[in-house]
Structure 1
Amino acid sequence: MDEDDRLLLSSSFGTEAVAYAKHRPDYAQAAARWALERAPGPRVLDLGAGTGKLTATLLTLGADVIAVEPDPAMLTELRRALPAVRALPGSAEAIPLPAASVDAVLAGNAMHWFHMDVAGPEIARILAPGGILAGLWNVVDDRVDWVAGLARVSGSAAIGPRDTPSSWRAETADLHLPKTGVAAQFGSPEQAEFRHGQRRSADSLVATLATRAGMLVMPEQEQEATLGRIRVFLASRPETARGEFTLPMLTCVLRVRRL
Structure 2
Amino acid sequence: MPVRAGIRERHPILLPSARVTVHHAAGVGYQRAAEVYESSRPSYPLAALAALADALPLEAGRTVVDLGAGTGKFTRLLALTGAEVLAVEPVKEMRERLAELLPAVAVNGGTAEATGLPDGCADAVVAAQSWHWFEEPAALAEVERLLRPGGALALVWNTFDTAEPWMRDFQDIYFRLAPRDLPRPPLSSGPGDPNAGWRAPFAARPGWGRIEERHWPNPHSTTVADIVDRMMSSSHIAVLDGTAQARVRAELEAVLGAHDATRSSGAIEMPYVTDVYWVRHG
TM-score by length of 2: 0.80
Q: Which residue number in structure 2 is paired with residue 119 of structure 1?
A: 139
Higher helix residue share: 1
State the partner residue of 1:256.
279
Q: Are 1:24 and 2:41 counterparts?
A: yes
The AA in structure 2 aligned to 1:246 is E
Q: Distance in 1 between matches of 2:200 and 2:110?
A: 19
Structure 1: tracts of 5 or more residues without a match: 1-5
Local SS of the residue matching 2:38:
helix
Distance, in Å, in 1 between the alignment partners of 2:174 and 2:81 is: 34
Question: Which of these residues, 102, 115, 121, is aligned with residue 82 of structure 1?
Answer: 102
What is the aligned-residue RMSD (CA, Å)? 2.6
Q: Which amino acid aligns with 1:60?
A: L
Alignment deviations for residues 127-183 of structure 1 (CA, whole Å, 9 cap, x no partner): 11221111111111101233223333554347x943642599333442574675xx1
Mapped contact 1:105–1:127 kept (Cα < 8 A): yes
Residue 7 of structure 1 corresponds to which residue in structure 2?
23
Shift of 1:54: 0.7
Distance apart, 1:121 and its partner CA: 1.3
What does residue 199 of structure 1 align with?
221
Cα–Cα, structure 1 residues 215 and 93, in superposed 2: closer, same or farther, change >3 Å?
Answer: same
| Partner Cα separation in structure 2 for residue 96 and residue 21 of structure 1 | 25
The residue aligned with 2:17 is: none
Q: Which amino acid aligns with 1:55?
A: T
* Counterpart contact for 1:142–1:164, Cα < 8 Å: no
Letter in 2 for 1:59: A
Confirm whether residue 218 of structure 1 aligns to residue 240 of structure 2. yes
SS at the partner of 1:246?
strand
Give the corresponding residue for 1:169.
193
- With over 3 angstroms needed to count, the CA separation of the structure-2 counterparts of 1:37 and 1:79, relative to structure 1, is same
Counterpart contact for 1:107–1:134, Cα < 8 Å: yes
1:38 is matched by which residue type in structure 2?
A
Q: What is the aligned residue count?
A: 252
